[in-house]
């Protein structure tokens, strides 16, 4: 299967290490691993033997995601929307679109799937980047940025106020893929499992060998060769996603430095002391989108937002001169390493 959906995500999200990865997997804890969506995936589920139906179903889920929302697939629904072709979107596209619209409203536009043209311009998308990004270029791109300029109609068609508006669900669709894999396992009768795609996770039930919540470790954003972790936390019946600002960047012809997080309100890369964010939510799709929004929003504003939401918690890693500071909402339970 082509591994093309959301290639940017391979670098843009902080890696979340499965704490169980270093443990010996016994006969009853089955593991399915591979590459998809431009990254790797792992599914752990309780069974007496590997289930071939699970393997086939994993491939089917990833194929659905690519056919619906991969900007790297020319015949994907989202690619047709971006070319302003007439198309009827599928159920997956509808769910992601509607959730994205809600979060766009909640975040006052800091989360915006129409940021795709800007992402491409800065060199973080599938299209060719601009050699020089000056204010005139930014102003021009902002005329085709704004999720209020895109509508999903009752019949499943998409309308745009400008044909060049470019949709990009990179900041939410991988989380949705995790949820789709979790739903697949649940449909097969599994209740104790962990799904991970490129560091985004959903944990169901307890770890079957330890009878405790699944234990997750989050990478320290400032590390050299040796891998170190900044925190560990339990995960049970929740989705989790993290986003980081320190691995993916580019420089233009003038030597200007750009990180991958683009503020869609001003059309420029974000410069802040937020190194990474991690979010817990009822679904990984929600966690994925909020983690991205928090990277673009000022820390204090983001904290107020998360504290206003039910069943959503967050942790920020902030740069403080030569050290880092960890901040979190009251319901984000973690242990510093």
Sketch the domain layout of the chain as residue ranges. Answer: 9-336
What share of the chain has pLDDT > 90, as a percent? 62
The stretch 135-162 carries a mean pLDDT of 95
Q: What is the per-residue pLDDT for 226?
A: 62
Tens digits of residue pLDDT in 51-75? 999 999 999 999 999 999 998 999 9
Tens digits of residue pLDDT in 80-95? 999 999 999 999 999 9
Q: Cα(333)–Cα(328) distance, rounded to whole angstroms?
A: 9
Q: What is the per-residue pLDDT for 16?
A: 40
Q: What is the per-residue pLDDT for 313?
A: 98
What share of the chain has pLDDT > 70, as a percent? 83
Q: What is the per-residue pLDDT for 8?
A: 32
Q: Name the pTM for this structure.
A: 0.88
Q: What is the per-residue pLDDT for 131?
A: 74
pLDDT beyond 50 at 209 = yes
CA distances from 143 to 107, 108, 115, 139, 192 (A): 20, 17, 11, 7, 47
139 with 268: CB under 8 angstroms? Answer: no
28 or 27, which is more confident? 28
Q: What is the per-residue pLDDT for 259?
A: 54
Fold category of 9-336 in CATH:
T-fold (3.10.520)
Contacts of 137 (CB under 8 A, 6+ apart): 121, 130
Tokens of 252: 């233009």
Q: What is the mean pLDDT of the chain?
A: 86
């Amino acid at each position: 299967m082509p591994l093309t959906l959301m290639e940017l995500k391979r670098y843009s999200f902080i890696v979340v290490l499965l704490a169980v990865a270093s443990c010996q997997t016994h006969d009853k804890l089955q593991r399915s691993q591979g590459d998809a969506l431009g990254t790797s995936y792992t599914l752990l589920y309780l069974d007496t033997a590997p289930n071939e139906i699970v393997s086939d179903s994993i491939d089917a889920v990833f194929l659905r995601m690519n056919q619906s929302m991969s900007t790297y697939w020319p015949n994907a629904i989202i690619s047709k929307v971006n070319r302003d072709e007439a198309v009827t979107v599928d159920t997956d596209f509808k769910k992601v679109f509607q959730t994205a619209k809600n979060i766009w409203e909640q975040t006052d536009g800091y989360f915006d799937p129409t940021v795709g043209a800007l992402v491409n311009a800065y060199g973080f998308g599938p299209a060719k980047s601009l050699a020089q990004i000056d204010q005139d270029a930014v102003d021009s791109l902002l005329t085709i940025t704004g999720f209020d300029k895109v509508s999903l109609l009752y019949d499943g068609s998409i309308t745009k106020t400008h044909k060049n508006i470019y949709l990009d669900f990179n900041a939410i669709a991988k989380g949705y893929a995790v949820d789709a894999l979790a739903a697949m396992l649940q449909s097969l009768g599994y209740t104790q499992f962990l799904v991970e795609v490129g560091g985004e996770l959903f944990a169901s039930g307890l770890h079957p060998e330890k009878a405790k919540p699944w234990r997750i470790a989050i990478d320290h954003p400032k590390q050299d060769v040796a891998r170190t972790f900044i925190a560990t936390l339990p995960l049970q019946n929740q989705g989790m996603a993290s986003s980081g600002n320190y691995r993916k960047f580019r420089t233009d012809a003038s030597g200007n430095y750009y990180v991958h997080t683009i503020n869609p309100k001003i059309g420029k890369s974000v410069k802040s002391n937020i190194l990474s964010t991690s979010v817990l939510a009822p679904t990984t799709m929600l966690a994925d989108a909020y983690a991205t929004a928090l990277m673009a929003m000022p820390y204090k504003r983001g904290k107020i937002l998360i504290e206003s939401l039910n069943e959503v918690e967050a942790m920020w890693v902030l740069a403080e001169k030569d050290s880092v500071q960890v901040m979190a909402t009251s319901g984000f339970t973690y242990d510093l390493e």
